[in-house]
């Protein structure tokens, strides 16, 4: 992740790299976003999922990897749900920037693997 994720200041795995572990991450997004992501699913080489909550927004981040011809198709799903007024106000503000960041990250990953 640190090799292909832009705006990443910190990425630290706490505990095991697997279900029940945590990843502490700091991004230069929205003025500095610090999150403690719980690894809820880790099934190499096909899937991974993390969950976290920040500023009234509950986020589930999922990666799915499937064979595609001679390579692999990577799909990332980032599902954010507001759990309060603050979250409902923040989602429209950061949504576009996060979508752009995720697209750039996956494009960089594709180049690294090519």
Alpha helix stretches (DSSP H) within the chain: 85-113
Gyration radius of the chain over CA positions:
14
Q: How far apart are CA 54 and CA 43, in angstroms?
A: 25
- Provide the mean pLDDT of the chain: 88
CB atoms within 10 A of CB 103: 11
Q: How confident is the model at residue 66, as a pLDDT?
A: 95
For residues 35 and 49, the answer to whether their CB atoms sit within 8 Å is no
In this prediction, residue 22 has a pLDDT band, given cuts at 50, 70 and 90, of very high
Above 70 in pLDDT, residue 21?
yes
Least confident of 9-23, 28-42, 43-57, 84-98: 84-98
DSSP 8-class letter at 28: S
Give the torsion through C-alpha atoms of 112, 9, 11, 111, to 10 deg. -10
Q: How confident is the model at residue 71, as a pLDDT?
A: 87
Q: How far apart are CA 78 and CA 62, in angstroms?
A: 7
In this prediction, residue 30 has a pLDDT band, given cuts at 50, 70 and 90, of low
In this prediction, residue 43 has a pLDDT band, given cuts at 50, 70 and 90, of very high
Q: pLDDT by residue (tens digit) across 52-68? A: 998 888 999 999 999 99
**DSSP symbols for 74-99:** EEEEEEEEE-SHHHHHHHHHHHHHHH
User: What number does CATH give the domain 8-113?
Assistant: 3.30.530.20
Residue 24's DSSP bridge partners are 12, 36
């Amino acid at each position: 992740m640190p090799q292909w994720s832009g705006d990443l200041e910190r990425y630290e795995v706490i505990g095991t790299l697997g279900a029940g572990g945590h990843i502490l991450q700091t991004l230069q997004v929205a003025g500095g976003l610090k999150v403690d992501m719980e690894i809820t699913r880790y099934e190499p080489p096909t899937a991974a999922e993390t969950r976290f909550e920040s500023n009234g927004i509950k986020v589930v981040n999922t990666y799915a990897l499937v064979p595609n011809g001679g390579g692999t198709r990577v799909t990332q799903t980032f599902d954010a749900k507001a759990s309060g007024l603050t979250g409902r106000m923040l989602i429209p503000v950061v949504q576009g920037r996060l979508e752009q960041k995720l697209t750039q990250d996956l494009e960089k990953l594709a180049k690294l693997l090519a």
